[in-house]
Structures are given as structure tokens and as C-alpha cells.
Amino acid sequence: MRIHFLLLAVLFVVLQAVAGESYFSSPVHSCRRQKGVCLFGRCRRPYYRVGSCGGSSSCCVRYVEVQGIPIAMADS
């Protein structure tokens, strides 16, 4: 009978961990999660590359400099 409680607890932890995650996440979704946009080719200023969107597209994030430190900014 104790094993039932243990199995139920393990099942609950596993289901809790995967509740919001998708197993088949596309590169576009991971780029948007980083507050980026997919652009064809290279990233031009004021964007810098943080990843790939598949094929020849780059995941680009806009940045601004605050006291010489680049900080990523979400596009509105």
C-alpha cells in the first residue's frame, strides 16, 4: 500500500514538471521565448544574434547600451 503513495507522488512530480513545456518546440518559439525575432540572413544593427531559427534565418535581439553595457530589449 505504501508503494501506491510513492508512485502517486512520482507521477505528480513528473506531470507538474512537464505541464507548460512542449516536447516539440520549434526554433521560432525558442527565439520568441528569448524576446527575439527571426530575420533572414545576418542580424544588422541594432540587433545581435542569439541563435538560429532554422535554415538561413537568425534569431536576433534588439539591444540598447546603458552606461556601455548592452542590454536586450523586447520589440513592441
Model pLDDT for residues 38-57, shown as the tens digit of each residue:
988 888 888 888 888 888 88
Which pTM does this prediction carry? Answer: 0.50
pLDDT over 50 (residue 71): yes
For residue 64, is pLDDT > 70? no
Question: Which of 11-25, 31-45, 59-73 shows the lowest mean pLDDT across its residues?
Answer: 11-25
Q: What phi and psi, each to the nearest 5 degrees, are found at residue 31?
A: -70, -45
Domain ranges of the chain: 24-76
- Give CA–CA dist 57/51, Å, rounded: 9
User: Is residue 76 over pLDDT 50?
Assistant: no
Q: Which CATH class is domain 24-76?
A: alpha beta
